[in-house]
Amino acid sequence: MKLTLRIWRQSSPAEKGRMVEYPVEDISPDASFLEMLDVLNEKLIADGEEPVAFDHDCREGICGMCSLVINGTPHGPERNTTTCQLHMRKFEDGEVIDVEPWRAKAFPVVKDLVVDRSPLDRIIQSGGYISAPTGTAPEAHSVPVPKADADRAFEAAECIGCGACVAACPNGSAALFLGAKVTHLGLMPQGQPERWDRVVNMLETHDDAGFGGCTNTGECSVACPKGISMDVISRLNGDMLKASVGGKKKR
Ligand code: FES
């Protein structure tokens, strides 16, 4: 395949960025999007130019590190797919493809396509944990969990914290991320001791970090590579309300 890439280049947070055009050719339709960028970078290095900086780690759709806005959509055109699992056969030969970093006030650009997503880590540090003792895993049936709760918690736990929800949201809100963590931990018996402090502390950290408020546009859930449902935001709002009126109510 032959493609024209228009890539956001920005040498540092203080510099002004711009789109730069790069032609690439001999790209296999079976290459992943990141492998296609590898081909470009190898050519740039061979030509003595600065390679394009982009985040990645597992390349298996697990870690949430890959984070590109492709043709205006976080993680590109394929639903429920991370950038690293997106393949070039989803594009047309000869296509012009725009590649940009996550765009959000809370995610400043570090370099090129890399943004600082540490605000999501700070949200987790403020409440995304449980105080159950560590050690040998307890016998599976010693703490019964209703099947419906286990299923909902499991679905919420699929959030890989990539930040696509923030990049897709017109308000730059991380409500879907927050809702996924609050739902995952709040449905489990082990998550009950910190349940009410968790939602208050995580939401405060979220707002302090510069994320915007949720206005239920739903873009977050559409962009989420794990298909996290907007239901988690309803649960987040419900827990926040209960926490603010006493923090002792049962679900
Ligand atoms: S690189 Fe790990 S999810 Fe894409």
Check pocket membership of 62 for ligand 1, CB cut-off 6 A: yes
The angle at the Cα of 145, spanning 139 to 148, to the nearest 5 degrees, equals 140
Name the residue of 62, 81, 224 whose CB sits within 8 Å of the most ligand 1 atoms, as the mutation to test its pocket: 62
Q: Using one digit for the tens of pLDDT, what is the confidence trace for 220-229?
A: 999 999 999 9
CA–CA dist 184, 248 (Å, integer): 19
Q: Using one digit for the tens of pLDDT, what is the confidence trace for 12-63?
A: 999 999 999 999 999 999 999 999 999 999 999 999 999 999 999 999 999 9
pLDDT at residue 193 tops 80:
yes
Q: In order of start, what are the domains of the chain with their CATH numbers?
A: 3-110 (3.10.20.30), 117-130+145-245 (1.10.1060.10)
Which two tokens mark 59? 């390349």
Check pocket membership of 158 for ligand 1, CB cut-off 6 A: no
pLDDT recorded at residue 141: 82
> Of how many residues is the chain composed?
251
- State the distance from the centre of ligand 1 to the C-alpha of 178, rounded, in angstroms: 20
Nearest CA among 101, 97, 124 for reference residue 114: 101
pLDDT recorded at residue 133: 78
Which two tokens mark 92? 């047309």
- State the distance from the centre of ligand 1 to the C-alpha of 142, rounded, in angstroms: 35
CA–CA dist 197, 243 (Å, integer): 8
pLDDT recorded at residue 247: 55
Q: Using one digit for the tens of pLDDT, what is the confidence trace for 142-192?
A: 888 999 999 999 999 999 999 999 999 999 999 999 999 999 999 999 899
pLDDT recorded at residue 64: 95
Q: Using one digit for the tens of pLDDT, what is the confidence trace for 106-128?
A: 999 999 999 999 999 999 999 99
The angle at the Cα of 116, spanning 113 to 120, to the nearest 5 degrees, equals 130
Q: Assign 11 a pLDDT band (cuts: 50, 70, 90).
A: very high
Instruction: Identify which has the larger pLDDT, 190 or 135.
Output: 190
- Which is the closest atom of ligand 1 to the Cα of 57? 1
Q: What percent of the chain has pLDDT over 70?
A: 98
Beta bridge partners of residue 154, listed in sequence order: none
Q: Assign 250 a pLDDT band (cuts: 50, 70, 90).
A: very low
- State the distance from the centre of ligand 1 to the C-alpha of 99, rounded, in angstroms: 16
pLDDT at residue 219 tops 60:
yes
CA–CA dist 243, 36 (Å, integer): 48
State CA 189 to chain mean position distance.
26
pLDDT at residue 249 tops 60:
no
